[in-house]
A and B are shown apart, each in its own frame.
Chain A
Amino acid sequence: MAKEGKLFRIAGPVVVAKEISARMYDVVKVGHEQLMGEVIQIVGDKTVIQVYEDTTGIKPGEPVINTGNPLSVELGPGMLTSIYDGIQRPLPVLVNKMGDFIKRGVDAPGLNEENKWDFKANVKAGDKVNGGDVIGEVKEASITHKIMVPPKVSGKIKSIKSGKFTVNEVVGKLDNGHELKLKQIWPVRAPRPVRKKLAPTIPLITGQRIFDILFPLAKGGVAAIPGPFGAGKTVSQQQLAKWCDAEIIVYIGCGERGNEMTEVLTEFPELQDPKTGKPLMDRTVLIANTSNMPVAAREASIYTGITIAEYYRDMGYNVALMADSTSRWAEAMREISSRLEEMPGEEGYPAYLATKLAEFYERAGRVNPLGVDEIGSVSVIGAVSPPGGDFSEPVTQNTLRVTKTFWALDAKLAQRRHFPSINWLTSYSLYLETLRPWYKENVSDTWADNVSKMMVILQEEEKLMEIVQLVGSDALPDKQQVTLEVARLIREFILQQNAFHEVDTFCEPKKSAAMVESVLKFADLAEEALNKGVRIVQILEIKSKNKIADAKYTNDYIKHLEKVNKEVQDEFAKLKV
C-alpha cells in the first residue's frame, strides 16, 4: 500500500481507486490531469473518492496520488471582496487561467500570493503566545484583520518583525521552530475551537420590519428560511446580506443560479453599508457554486463558507453567514450517497442527513474567541427549498430541529406581491425572551407588549377571515370589523416592505417601533370611538390613517408620524355619534 495508486472505476463524480493507502477525508489528486478529490469511503483494498471536477474521459488505470491532508482552506488577509467556488478557488483567477467557462485541472490558491500586506506586530520576542492569540494586524478592506497564532500552536516568540509581507512570507518564529505567517490553514470539516460559547442576547438587526419586530434573530443564532420557488428566498437572503448589522458577511450560493450570483457581484460594490458608509462588498466574502458546477464541490462549499466565517469570528467580529440553499447541499449529499449505494433514509436522503445538518448549524454561536477579548459571533441563516413547498420533507424538518428562528415563506403571499412574503402565523422566533431586555433598553419600553398585541390581532384576523369567507365582512359585529381593519394596516403598513425602494429597503428598529405605535394608537382610538357609539362606517372612512404608510418612504419619520398621529386624533375627535 502506498501514497500512489491506480483508478479502478469511474462513474460520474464518484471514482474508485485501488492500491492506495488513505485516511478518510484525505484530499487526493485523480488522473493524469490531477483533479482534486476527497476520500469518502474505504472498502477493503478499494478507496472511494468524490471528485470536485468533471470526470469525463478519465480511464481506469490512471494514477491517483494521496496528498495526506484533509480538505482545507487558506485563511488570511484578502478574503473580503473575493468570490470563490466551493473549494476556495478564486473565480476571477479561474477566468484568467481558463476563460469564461469552468474547465478542469486548474488549481488556484485561495489567497493572493503576490499582494503585500502592511503588517504591524504587537507582540515582541520573548512573549508567550497560545493558539488564537493576536500577534499583529493588517488593514483589509474596511476592517482590521488580526493575525492570530493558529489554534493548537503555542510557544515563546523567538523573533517577529513588522513590515510588508505576502501571505506566504514568515513574519516570525516561535522557540519551538514554528513559523508564523499571515496565513493559516484549517481543515474545513472541523469547527475552529473557542474559549467559551455564550448566550445569544443581542439581536442581529436586519432592517426588515417583520424580522426585527416579530421574529428577531440573535447574533450567533440560527435561522431557517424555507419556501417554495418564487416565494422570495433569495431576495430575503440578499436583503439580509445587504442590511444586517454584522461586520462580515459570508454569502454562499450553493447549487443556485449563476445569474443571481452575478447580480450580487454587480450590486454589492455599488451599495453602501448603512453603518460605515463603505461599499457593502468590502465586508463580504462570496462563495458561488452554481447548480451546474460539480456536485461534490457543492457539498464542500458550505464547509468552506462556515470555516471562513469562524476565522473572522475568532478576531472578535460579528459574522453573518447566508447559505442559499441548504437543500441543494443536502441533495448533493444524497447524490453522492446514492452513488455509493448506501442504504437510503427518508426520501432517498442518507441516514446521516440529520447529523450533518445539526453539525453544521452548531458551528454558529456567540463566543469568547481563544485569544481575543472581544466577543465574536457567527449567525447562520439557511434557506431551505422544500420540494413542492411541502415543509414536512426531511431537510426542512431536520433543519427545524436545530434552528431557533423560523421564517416561513408563503407562496400565496408572494403571488399577491406581499413582500417579504413571510407568513406571520407559522413563523416563530425562540429568541424573543432572551432579547427582551435589549429591546427594552435600546428600542422602546413598549416593544414586547406591542409585539404580543399585534400577534393577537393577526391571529384573530385569521379566525375572522374564515367567517368573512362565508358571510361577508358586513355581517360581523363592529368591534370585529375594527380588528380586521387594524390587521390590514399591520399587514400593509408594517409587514410589507419594498426591497426595491431606496428608503424602505432598510428600516431601523426605532422607526419600526414608531410605526407600530402609530397603528396601535389608531386601534385604541377606534375602540374608544366605538364605545362612545360612533358607527363603524365612520371609523373605516378615516382618511389620515393611510398616511402612516408614507412613513416607509421617508427618513424623517419622527416628524411625519407625529403629524399623522395628530391628524388621526383630530379626525376621531370630529366624529359625530
Chain B
Amino acid sequence: MKTMKEYKTISRVAGPLVFVEKTEAIGYGDLVRISLPDGTIKNGQVLDTSEDLVVVQVFEGTSGIDKETRVKFLGETIKLSVSEDMMGRILNGAGKPIDGGAEIIPEQKLDIIGAAINPYARETPSDFIQTGISTIDGTNTLVRGQKLPVFSGSGLPHNEIALQIARQAKVIGMKENFVVIFAAMGITNEEAQYFIKDFEQTGALEKSVVFLNLADDPAVERLITPKMALTAAEYLAYEKNMHVLVILTDMTNYCESLREIGAAREEIPGRRGYPGYMYTDLANIYERAGMIKGKKGSITQIPILTMVGDDITHPIPDLTGYITEGQIVLSRELHRKGIYPPVDVLPSLSRLMNLGIGKGRTREDHKVVSDQLYAFYAEGRDLRGLVAIVGEEALSERDKNLLKFAEEFEKHFVTQGKNEDRSIFETLGDSWKLLGAIPKDELTRISPDLRDKFYGKDIKDTKVEKTETKEVAEKKPKSKKKAKKK
C-alpha cells in the first residue's frame, strides 16, 4: 500500500465544505481525515473530485479549520464496523460507541452506501405484523419488509407511538421478536433519554442498536446516521437472519442537513430550497427496507418525520409519501381532543395491507371491514360540518347514525392506552360492534355472506384468536411452498 500524502493546500472553506487544491487523483466518495493545528481530528467525505480541485464535506463542521490544517485522503469509502455484539450498544451518529463500553470488534467492515436490492431478488412482503394498535392493525396494516412512515407534527406523541410499536410488534404464531435499530437524527437529549429509558425498562435494549445524533451534534453527521443504521440492519437481517425493525427519527432534520450541504455547494435548489436530488437521496434510505428471496431476515422501516407547519404537501412528507409504502398521519385535532394515539385514519394508508391480511393471515372479513369503517367515518366526519350549520334535528336517520358512528369510532376504535396491546381479533371484534349501530343492509362494502356471518354477533375474541392462529400456523408453510414451485 502506498503511503498516503497529507495536503496543506486548502483554498477555500465555506459552510461545511473544504476545497483542497493540487492533490493527486482522489476517488469520488473517499473518506477524508482532517487534522487541525490544535490536534483535533475531523472526518469528511469527497463530494466532487477533479484534477484541479477536491471538495470535501466535513461531518463535524468546519469550525477551527484554517489554511494550516492538514488533509489526508484515506482511499476508501465510509465503512461501519459490524458485529453481533452491536446489540445492546449505544453509538453516536457516526457509529462510534458512546455508552462508555469497549470498542466494537468488527466481524466485518461494510460500506454504508448500500447497493440497491435487485427487484428480481426481492421477496414480496406478506407477513402481518401485529402492533397492537387498532388504527394500524385494523385499517393500515403493517407487514414485514414494509416501510411505513409516521407523519407527525411538532408536539404530537410520535415518539410514544414509535415506542409502543417497537414494544408490541410481533408476527402472530411466531416466537421470534424484532431486533430494533433506533437512529436518532437531531433530536433533543431529552427525547433520546426517553427512548433509551424505555428500552432499558422493558429490557429491549439488549436486542437493540441505538445510533444517536443529537440536536447539538454536527448537522452534517446526520447525513450518514441513517445509512449507518441501515447498514447495521442489513448485516443483522441478511447475514444473521434476524427480523429488524428500524426506527428513524426525525427525517425532517436529515433533510435540513441535506439542504444545508446543497446550499454550501451553491447547487441550483429545487422546491423550497431542497436539492433537486432529494427524492433519489431519500429513496436510497427508504428502499433499503424489504425482504430477499432465500434469506430469513427482513428489514421493516418506520421513519418518523415532523411535517413543517403540519403541511402534508411540504417537500419532505411529499417525497417521502411517494417512496414509502403508505403513511400513518397524526392529527393535531385528535390530539387536542385528548385522543391517543391521534392517528387520522383518512389520509393514512398502508399500500401493502392487502398482501398481509385476509383468510389465513388475519381474517377473511378484514379488508371489507376496513373499507366499510373508512367509508362511514369519512361520511360521518363530513356531516359534522353540516350539523354545525343546520343542527342535528335536520339530519336524516342515516346521517344521524353516521354522525354517532364517527364519534364512537374515535372513542372506541382510535383511542387506546399507551400499553394496551390489542390483538387483531379484538380490533376486528370492536369494528363489528361499531358497525352494529348501522342497519345491516347499509353495509354495502361488505358482501352479503360476510354480513350474515359477523353482523350483530358478539364473537368471542379469545376463542377465535386461538383457532385462527392455528390456521395461520398451518397455512403459512403451504403458501410458501406454492410460491417456491412457481
User: Which stretch, A239-247, A254-262, A365-373, A524-532, touches the partner chain B?
Assistant: A254-262
Whether A230 touches B119, Cβ cut-off 8 Å, given contacts A328-B279, A335-B277, A472-B390, is no
How many CB-defined contacts (below 8 Å) exist between A and B? 222
Asked if B116 and A293 sit within 8 Å, CB to CB, the answer is: yes
Q: Looking at the assembled complex, report how far the CB atom of B333 sits from the nearest CB atom of chain A, in whole angstroms.
A: 15
User: Which stretch, B210-218, B371-379, B461-469, touches the partner chain A?
Assistant: B371-379
Q: Looking at the assembled complex, report how far the CB atom of B368 sits from the nearest CB atom of chain A, in whole angstroms.
A: 9
**Cβ-defined partner of B117 (8 Å) among A100, A328, A546, A553:** A100
Q: Looking at the assembled complex, report how far the CB atom of B268 sits from the nearest CB atom of chain A, in whole angstroms.
A: 5
Asked if A335 and B276 sit within 8 Å, CB to CB, the answer is: yes
User: How long is the Cα–Cα vector from A472 to B387 in the complex, in angstroms?
Assistant: 9
User: How long is the Cα–Cα vector from A474 to B444 in the complex, in angstroms?
Assistant: 23
User: How long is the Cα–Cα vector from A230 to B483 in the complex, in angstroms?
Assistant: 28
Q: Does residue A102 face the partner (Cβ distance < 8 Å to B)? A: yes
B395 nearest CB neighbor, chain A only: A472
Whether A59 touches B28, Cβ cut-off 8 Å, given contacts A11-B48, A258-B287, A292-B283, is yes
A9: chain B residues within 8 A (beta carbon): 48-51
Q: Does residue B401 face the partner (Cβ distance < 8 Å to A)? A: no
Q: Does residue A415 face the partner (Cβ distance < 8 Å to B)? A: yes
Q: Looking at the assembled complex, report how far the CB atom of A261 sits from the nearest CB atom of chain B, in whole angstroms.
A: 4
A104 nearest CB neighbor, chain B only: B115
Determine the interface band of chain A, counting residues with CB < 8 A from chain B: 35 or more
Whether A348 touches B119, Cβ cut-off 8 Å, given contacts A55-B28, A230-B327, is no
A interface footprint on B383-408 (CB within 8 Å = 1, 0 otherwise): 00110011000111000000000000
Whether A10 touches B271, Cβ cut-off 8 Å, given contacts A100-B118, A100-B121, A258-B122, is no
User: Which stretch, A188-196, A264-272, A449-457, touches the partner chain B?
Assistant: A264-272
Q: Looking at the assembled complex, report how far the CB atom of B28 sits from the nearest CB atom of chain A, in whole angstroms.
A: 4
A interface footprint on B28-66 (CB within 8 Å = 1, 0 otherwise): 111000000000000000011111000100000000000
Whether A288 touches B119, Cβ cut-off 8 Å, given contacts A55-B28, A59-B26, A61-B51, is yes
Asked if B280 and A335 sit within 8 Å, CB to CB, the answer is: yes
Asked if A385 and B322 sit within 8 Å, CB to CB, the answer is: yes
Q: Does residue A470 face the partner (Cβ distance < 8 Å to B)? A: yes
B287: chain A residues within 8 A (beta carbon): 257-258, 290-292
Asked if B352 and A500 sit within 8 Å, CB to CB, the answer is: no
Q: Does residue B270 face the partner (Cβ distance < 8 Å to A)? A: yes
Q: Does residue A560 face the partner (Cβ distance < 8 Å to B)? A: no
User: How long is the Cα–Cα vector from A56 to B29 in the complex, in angstroms?
Assistant: 5
**Cβ-defined partner of B50 (8 Å) among A10, A255, A553:** A10
Q: Looking at the assembled complex, report how far the CB atom of B205 sits from the nearest CB atom of chain A, in whole angstroms.
A: 30
B interface footprint on A17-49 (CB within 8 Å = 1, 0 otherwise): 000000000000000000000000000000000
Q: Does residue B346 face the partner (Cβ distance < 8 Å to A)? A: yes
A492 nearest CB neighbor, chain B only: B444
**Cβ-defined partner of B267 (8 Å) among A57, A59, A228, A338:** A338
User: How long is the Cα–Cα vector from A443 to B25 in the complex, in angstroms?
Assistant: 70
B444: chain A residues within 8 A (beta carbon): 492, 546, 549
User: How long is the Cα–Cα vector from A366 to B483 in the complex, in angstroms?
Assistant: 39
Whether A292 touches B77, Cβ cut-off 8 Å, given contacts A11-B49, A416-B375, is no
Asked if B389 and A470 sit within 8 Å, CB to CB, the answer is: yes
User: How long is the Cα–Cα vector from A390 to B314 in the complex, in angstroms?
Assistant: 11
B48 nearest CB neighbor, chain A only: A11
**Cβ-defined partner of A292 (8 Å) among B124, B284, B313, B379:** B284
Asked if A263 and B118 sit within 8 Å, CB to CB, the answer is: no
Interface residues of A in 3-19 (CB under 8 A from B): 8-12, 16
A577: chain B residues within 8 A (beta carbon): none
Interface residues of A in 209-238 (CB under 8 A from B): 228-230, 234
User: Which stretch, A89-97, A115-123, A311-319, touches the partner chain B?
Assistant: A89-97
Interface residues of A in 342-395 (CB under 8 A from B): 344, 347-348, 385, 387-390
Q: Does residue A490 face the partner (Cβ distance < 8 Å to B)? A: no
Q: Does residue B125 face the partner (Cβ distance < 8 Å to A)? A: yes
Asked if A59 and B374 sit within 8 Å, CB to CB, the answer is: no
Interface residues of A in 421-462 (CB under 8 A from B): none
**Cβ-defined partner of A266 (8 Å) among B351, B378, B483:** B483
Q: List 8 A-B contacts (CB under 8 A).
A: A258-B117, A259-B124, A261-B122, A328-B279, A334-B276, A338-B276, A546-B441, A549-B444
Q: Which residues of B come within 8 Å of A, CB atoms?
A: 25-30, 47-51, 55, 77, 113-125, 145-146, 238, 267-271, 276-277, 279-280, 283-284, 287-288, 290, 292-293, 295, 312-315, 318-319, 321-323, 325-327, 346-347, 349, 351-352, 354-355, 367, 371, 374-375, 378-379, 385-386, 389-390, 394-396, 441, 444-445, 447, 483, 486
Q: Which residues of A come within 8 Å of B, CB atoms?
A: 8-12, 16, 54-62, 83, 91-92, 94-95, 99-103, 228-230, 234, 253, 255, 257-263, 265-266, 269-270, 288, 290-293, 295, 328, 331, 334-335, 338, 341, 344, 347-348, 385, 387-390, 411, 414-417, 468-475, 492, 500, 543, 546, 549, 553
Ranked nearest first, the 9 interchain pairs of A and B with the lowest CB-CB distance are A388-B313, A9-B50, A291-B283, A56-B29, A101-B115, A91-B120, A229-B321, A292-B287, A100-B121
